[in-house]
Amino acid sequence: MDTKTQSAYQDELQQLEATSQEIDRQLALLHATPVYYGPDVTEQALEGIREQARHNLSKAVEEPYFGRMDFQENGTEQAAPLYIGKAGVEDPQTGKLLVIDWRAPVASLFYSFTGGLDPASYESPDGIIEGLVYLKRNLVIRKQILQRVVDTYDRSQDSLAVGDEFLLYRLGENKDSKLRDIVSTIQAEQDRIIRAAKNTALIIQGVAGSGKTTVALHRLAFLLYQYREQIRAERMIIFAPNSMFLDYISGVLPELGVGSIQQSTFTDWVLDILDQEVKVVDPSLALQTWFATSGKRPVIDEHTPGRYKGSIRFQQYLDDCLTRFETTYVPASDFIPWEGAKLPIAKIREWFFVENKHYPLVKRRERVVARIKRWMDMQLERIWETSRKKELKKKGAQKLRSYLTAWPEHTAFSLYKLLYSETGRPESLPIELLHQLPETLVAQAAKQFKKKEVQHEDLAPLLYIHSRLHGIPSDRMFDHVVIDEAQDFSPFQVAVLNSYTRNRSFTILGDLSQGIHAYQGIMDWKEFSDLFEDNETGYFELERSYRSTMEIIHFANQVLTRGVENPLLAVPVFRSGDKVRVLQTKASERLPLMVQSVRHLQQGSAATIAVVARTEKQALQLHEALTEAGVEANLITAKQREYRGGISVVPIYLTKGLEFDAVLLMDVTASHYEVNLTDAKLLYVGCTRALHELWLLAAGDLSPLVLTDDSEIVSTESPF
């Protein structure tokens, strides 16, 4: 350590001691205050504040801050050090902030400042604040021990750009089984997204490993801080592709001090609203079909079920059907409960179509039926003779029951089923409407709906019908919605979600280059932005990839370029690692070489390893071989709900969103990965899951997607 670093270290030690003492003091005081359980509302509110403070300080005491910025605001005498941490800590005597919450406006300087001598500024509630930055320092504190002090900018030094050394140090670390927060190293382009205003539908195209998922989670924490008066955690939701992925990201929000944000898959969320009336067919069946090796895969076009039923055209079709249906929903005849009493149909129609027109269909029916009953009661009041009254009452009730059979109650599913049915259609839904649908869809529906089973792509239509029937209760509305892996969502899904979201407050993130679910997803972000007015959306691109080494990113980019026209290529951060290893072998050596490779990677520094198969069937076989060889590994299938870390065996299409220290891609042969869009994207996804090491194995001819003689990034030598 040179003298300058040593002195910085000493300064920071003293600062840490002083801050820790103050936090300890405040915590002791809070713990000494008895918890209030009484009925007084003011006291309850104060207890809430104390509870939050207890929680924040107990976290802060271990690791009070991670950054320091010396900033001299214009008009002040000298630069003041600002310490930035996960939670703010105030000195109650002076009101001075000992630690600034990373989400506070001034903390944005720590992330947005990229160096140079020019003044820097940030937006405060009172307007733009300008001044000079003198120092940007990263600090690693673990359990109150100062482990590292790294200056990434120093105004008095020669190099005036913010250096990457601290970021590289963090990126070089191994990962455990869960995604982590990045508060200490958020990059300027990520910070802009995190702090973007709430009431816009933000669309973010980010290359693999650019931090999309991480940024989305940090954005939720920011929104909760910035708009604490307007939004609530329980009314925010993050949609992710599957339960295992949700498990993988589940640690970040609690680490950031925000819990209770809903996390769900689109499927689970819709089924809950539909009260589990239907079942979704086993998702692995669809995956096996769409991710069969090339030649066995169905062709994808506009009639592909996912694309057809996910389109706005289909939403308009449903809309038209529902509007027609409504016109003849009321029975066609007068209601005559007994001889001499008649409720004219014109009256019933007036109640239904005029007086209650603002209510959703189900509610409207309920209200009109209740009104008919009241009308009947009034008619009965005119009759004095008790036995006659009783007799008519009974008769009226019977008549009403049969009258209502022409006015059946519907659920979203029963109505949806009706739209596909040749028989039993009301006159408002002529058979010609059915003939507008592709025949294959009608045939599939007839088969599945009998068993109350639907496909994933039926969920948005069902929810749409449900909301037309029932309306959307205010407690179901979201304050903010995050859609991760959004390239696999359909426009219809986003449109229907929009009706459940206040002020179109969305963060929609994804990567078109990873759009492997083309049978249901989008081809262009315009398909989503077209759903909103121009001034309601924002679009960001993230090009830098933080996950993988330069070698891995360059290699993955080559794969993509070979199968995709004009691909969006990732730019790696300057982190060099081992070369990508490509190993060819004989069929008989395939499994032994896999076992040997896994053992080798395990003995190195990799804590998490993925053995990636092309299909689920192959994953099963590879898992079996590893188990037989005594290597403990977890098999990941479409039904998996937990991600356990360690060694995972996983079909390539299920690796999306995850990351591993080392990835071993099996069977990268010409027959498994051909030169086409889907295979190139699949392989790209597989390659970009690796942080530090990427190995490819092929028993047979190598896939043309990976053929390269670039010896700078690839090695074909055996390490054994």
Ligand X SMILES: Nc1ncnc2c1ncn2[C@@H]1O[C@H](COP(=O)(O)OP(=O)(O)OP(=O)(O)O)[C@@H](O)[C@H]1O
Residue nearest to ligand X (CB): 211
Q: Is 4 annotated as a binding residue?
A: no
CA–CA dist 364, 357 (Å, integer)? 7
- Pick the closer one to ligand X by CB: 355 or 524: 524
- Pick the closer one to ligand X by CB: 180 or 389: 180
Question: Dihedrals φ, ψ of 500, to 5°?
Answer: -100, 10
- Pick the closer one to ligand X by CB: 509 or 582: 509
The count of residues in the chain is 720
Local structure of residue 352 (DSSP, 8 states): I
- Pick the closer one to ligand X by CB: 273 or 552: 552
CA–CA dist 105, 505 (Å, integer)? 21
- Pick the closer one to ligand X by CB: 185 or 493: 185
Alpha helices of 478-611 — where are they, by DSSP H? 491-498, 526-529, 550-563, 590-603
Residue 195 CB partners (closer than 8 Å, separation 6+): 108, 219, 222, 226
Output the smallest distance, CB 150 to ligand X, in A: 14
CB 399 within 8 A of CB 337: yes
Which residues lie near ligand X (CB under 6 A)?
A: 167, 170-171, 175, 180, 182, 185-187, 190, 206, 208-214, 511, 514, 546-547, 657, 659, 688
Output the smallest distance, CB 208 to ligand X, in A: 3
- Pick the closer one to ligand X by CB: 68 or 466: 68
- Pick the closer one to ligand X by CB: 377 or 541: 541
Q: At residue 50, what is the residue type?
A: R
Q: At residue 159, what is the residue type?
A: S
Residue in the structure block whose two tokens are 């039904």: 639
Q: Is 207 annotated as a binding residue?
A: yes
Q: Is 211 annotated as a binding residue?
A: yes
User: How many CB atoms are closer than 10 A to CB 657?
Assistant: 23
Alpha helices of 312-356 — where are they, by DSSP H? 312-327, 345-349
CA–CA dist 616, 654 (Å, integer)? 9
Residue in the structure block whose two tokens are 């898959």: 265
Residue 422: burial class (beta carbons within 10 Å; 0-12, 13-18, 19+): exposed
Output the smallest distance, CB 581 to ligand X, in A: 21
Closest CA to 203 of 529, 683, 653, 438: 529
Output the smallest distance, CB 366 to ligand X, in A: 45
CA–CA dist 606, 609 (Å, integer)? 7
CA dihedral (615, 621, 627, 630) positive or negative: negative
CA–CA dist 519, 77 (Å, integer)? 62
- Pick the closer one to ligand X by CB: 505 or 545: 545
- Pick the closer one to ligand X by CB: 252 or 392: 252
Listing from the earlier edge strand, what are the strands of the sheet with 647-651?
634-635, 647-651, 609-613, 660-665, 690-699, 580-585, 714-715
Residue 327 CB partners (closer than 8 Å, separation 6+): 428
Local structure of residue 521 (DSSP, 8 states): S
CA–CA dist 238, 251 (Å, integer)? 14
CB-based burial, 94-126: b 16+ in 10 Å, e otherwise = eeebbbbbbbbebbbbbbbbebeeeebbbeeee
Query: How many angstroms separate the Cα of 168 from the Cα of each of 175, 210, 572?
Result: 14, 14, 11
Output the smallest distance, CB 204 to ligand X, in A: 9
- Pick the closer one to ligand X by CB: 15 or 185: 185
Query: How many angstroms separate the Cα of 256 from the Cα of each of 59, 88, 154?
Result: 10, 12, 28
Alpha helices of 567-676 — where are they, by DSSP H? 590-603, 616-628
Output the smallest distance, CB 112 to ligand X, in A: 13
Output the smallest distance, CB 666 to ligand X, in A: 20
Q: Is 208 annotated as a binding residue?
A: yes
- Pick the closer one to ligand X by CB: 457 or 659: 659
Beta bridge partners of 663: 610, 694
- Pick the closer one to ligand X by CB: 22 or 191: 191
Output the smallest distance, CB 684 to ligand X, in A: 10
CB 442 within 8 A of CB 420: yes
Output the smallest distance, CB 141 to ligand X, in A: 17
CB-based burial, 399-421: b 16+ in 10 Å, e otherwise = beeebeeeeeebbbbebbbbbbb
Output the smallest distance, CB 345 to ligand X, in A: 58
- Pick the closer one to ligand X by CB: 190 or 304: 190
Q: At residue 515, what is the residue type?
A: G
Q: Is 213 annotated as a binding residue?
A: yes
Output the smallest distance, CB 212 to ligand X, in A: 3
Output the smallest distance, CB 546 to ligand X, in A: 4
Angle (CA) 563-565-571 rounded to 5° is 85
Output the smallest distance, CB 184 to ligand X, in A: 8
- Pick the closer one to ligand X by CB: 544 or 600: 544
Output the smallest distance, CB 220 to ligand X, in A: 13
Output the known binding site. Answer: 206-213
Output the known binding site for ATP. Answer: 206-213
